[in-house]
Amino acid sequence: MKKIVLSMTLVSAFAMAKGGSGTIEPAVDVVATAVETQSSFWDRLRMKGDLRLRHEEITRDDKRDTFRERYRFRYFLDFDITDQLIFESSITSGKRNPTSGNVSFRSDEPWSDYFVDELKIDILDLAYTFDKSWIRAGLSKHFFYRPLKTQLVWDNDLRFEGVSYGYADDTRSYTLTASKLHRLENDALSTGSIYMYNGQYTHSMNLENSKLRLGAGFYYYDGIKGNTAPYANGVLGNSHNDGFYTEDYAIADAFAEIKFADVMGKPFTAAAILAYNTAASSDNFAYELGVGLGETKNDYDWKVGYVYRDIQKDAVFGAHNDSDFIGGGTDGKGHILTAGMRLNKHLDIGGTFIMSTLNDSRSATGVKADYNRLQLDATIKF
């Protein structure tokens, strides 16, 4: 019944929105900027959200296949206290997962279990902007530049709890953060606190027919070795002894990204990303190669993308990188294909297909196993 109701909601939203035009910013992009002086409370208040419905299939050699329907709900609310001081907040579903807002539907469950009990405070911070810089304090998204929105090191949904500083101009940017690992109400109990000290620098330059951006970062975790998993989903591929981490994580990454404004009438981007855990002596390297064609700014715009990823078991901290590839975490490799289309300003559709291999330590059978994942999405924006 719940699936039928949600399907009707989707169809109704499409019918109401059909024929809409214009552009809006994606719901995930909530970035504080300086604003002009405004005259009323409502002028200073900004709200938006989205509801994504997903059909997902997971087929793998080492376990039973999975077929499920899921949803993700997000709602953002920002308020300009002054022209430079901004209050940012959001709630999202996925209370039990720090790197995903997805919730799977189950049979004979009350609606409150899906849309009330699953909600969590996702962002709650203050942002102060000045000149070309900003400072944030509280629980916020991460603002590291990620070519092709890579999740090799950081999952899209991961949040930092602490203080961060950023600067950006026409040619360079840098971001610095000091934070404590954010815990959820039902997290596993680690034996000690984990802190993160992170920094990234990027430099861009205009070429004859393209724009080149180079970047590097260093992400240091304090308190992982000898600790247990911070979340209930476990160590996710990292080296451990009976659940206690046996390695530290001090990750250096670097990337090169080139963007062309017009390839076959569409924008085209290619990128290479490397990650290396300087605190581990082996199994500490990961890389990603990707391309993307198109964008979805106007009605019926489309985009496609391809990524190849290879990630050794201690290259990054498995609790914080992509939660979809190889089931989350590290120690696997494979291909990621994506496609998306904007039908109108209220409705996007898209899909992702992951064709990957789990290495021995990630497989339930102790030998390499194929891991394939299909996701079909419809996102209603309001």
pLDDT in tens, 300-357: 999 999 999 999 999 999 999 999 999 999 999 999 999 999 999 999 999 999 999 9
Residues with Cβ within 8 Å of 179's Cβ and at least 6 positions away in sequence, in order, are 160, 161, 162, 163, 164, 195, 196, 198
Rounded-to-integer distance, Cα 148 and Cα 128, Å? 27
Burial class of residue 333, CB neighbours in 10 A (0-12, 13-18, 19+):
middle
Range of the domain at 339: 2-381
**Residue 194, pLDDT score:** 87
Rounded-to-integer distance, Cα 351 and Cα 327, Å? 17
User: What's the average model confidence in pLDDT over 228-253?
Assistant: 93
Q: Taking 60 as the threshold, does the pLDDT of residue 37 lie above it?
A: no
Nearest to 228 by CA among 209, 214, 242, 215: 242
Q: Which pair of tokens denotes residue 18?
A: 């059909």
Note the pTM of the prediction, 2 decimals: 0.86
**Residue 345, pLDDT score:** 95
| Single-letter residue type at 271 | A
Element (H, E) at 41: helix 41-44
Rounded-to-integer distance, Cα 276 and Cα 283, Å? 9
**Residue 181, pLDDT score:** 80
DSSP-derived 3-state class of residue 279: coil
Nearest to 227 by CA among 138, 155, 317: 317
DSSP string, 65-122: -EEEEEEEEEEEEEEESSSSEEEEEEEES-TT-TT---EE--TT--THHHHTTT-EEE
Q: Taking 80 as the threshold, does the pLDDT of residue 226 lie above it?
A: yes
User: What's the average model confidence in pLDDT over 255-265?
Assistant: 96
User: What's the average model confidence in pLDDT over 127-155?
Assistant: 96
Domain count, the chain: 1
**Residue 17, pLDDT score:** 42
Give the model's confidence band at 106: pLDDT under 50 very low, under 70 low, under 90 confident, else very high.
Answer: confident
Using alpha carbons only, what angle is made at residue 132 by residues 170 and 158, rounded to the nearest 5 degrees? Answer: 90
Pick left, alpha or beta for residue 148 (phi over 0 → left; psi -120 to 50 → alpha; otherwise beta).
left
CATH number of the domain within which 194 lies: 2.40.160.10
Burial class of residue 306, CB neighbours in 10 A (0-12, 13-18, 19+):
middle
> Quick one: what percent of the chain has pLDDT higher than 90?
76
Residues with Cβ within 8 Å of 84's Cβ and at least 6 positions away in sequence, in order, are 34, 128, 129, 130
Nearest to 334 by CA among 293, 370, 284: 370
Residues with Cβ within 8 Å of 234's Cβ and at least 6 positions away in sequence, in order, are 188, 243
**Mean pLDDT over the full length of the chain:** 88
Nearest to 33 by CA among 90, 80, 91, 89: 80
Q: Taking 60 as the threshold, does the pLDDT of residue 14 lie above it?
A: no
Contact 357, 60 (CB under 8 A): no
Element (H, E) at 3: helix 2-17
Nearest to 170 by CA among 219, 139, 132, 122: 132
Using alpha carbons only, what angle is made at residue 22 by residues 43 and 101, rounded to the nearest 5 degrees? Answer: 75
Rounded-to-integer distance, Cα 309 and Cα 320, Å? 16
